[in-house]
Amino acid sequence: MRKDNEMKVHFASISGKKVEVAFDGGSLTSDGGVLHLRAVDRAIGLIDRLSGCIRDDRHPSYVDHSLSDLMRQRVYQIALGYEDANDSNSLRTDPGFKMACDRRPVTGEDLASQPTISRLENRVRRSALYRLALAFVDVFISSYEMAP
């Protein structure tokens, strides 16, 4: 007879690695729903579209996190109820969030800190906001077989 803590749930692979969830008390995440959110994002391509709306004028030699990585981290955090940029500091090492952002859960590079996320948010100009709105409309329309 199998115990409840022996149950495993399998997810799509991340960075070529098999992902399974076990309930044995190993590495813990703040929110396992982030992996489901990642699957939906990959299916509809929302973050990739949104990332293309913002001009990245950072000097390449000072960049640790790509614009799409920052967008993915921030959107996932907001969607899961972590709306304050300060939450980035505690979630940057979270195994679930790291996997959702294509990093290894324990040994992978940490996600962006609060100052980096705040710089991202302050960088967005009015013209980029307009492009972001259009991207949301495009994603909405493309969700239908025939445009509404």
Domain carrying residue 68: 32-142
Domain membership flag for residue 56: yes
How many distinct structural domains can be found in the chain?
A: 1
Per-residue pLDDT tens digits of the chain, which is 148 residues long: 455 556 666 667 766 777 766 666 566 676 778 989 999 999 999 999 999 999 998 999 999 999 999 999 999 999 999 999 999 999 999 999 999 999 988 888 999 999 999 999 998 999 999 999 999 999 999 999 998 8
Domain membership flag for residue 62: yes
Q: Give the CA angle between residues 14, 15, 18 to the nearest 5°.
A: 50
Q: What pTM did the predictor assign? A: 0.78
Token pair recorded at residue 130: 């307009």
At a CB cut-off of 8 Å and minimum separation 6, what does 125 contact?
Answer: none
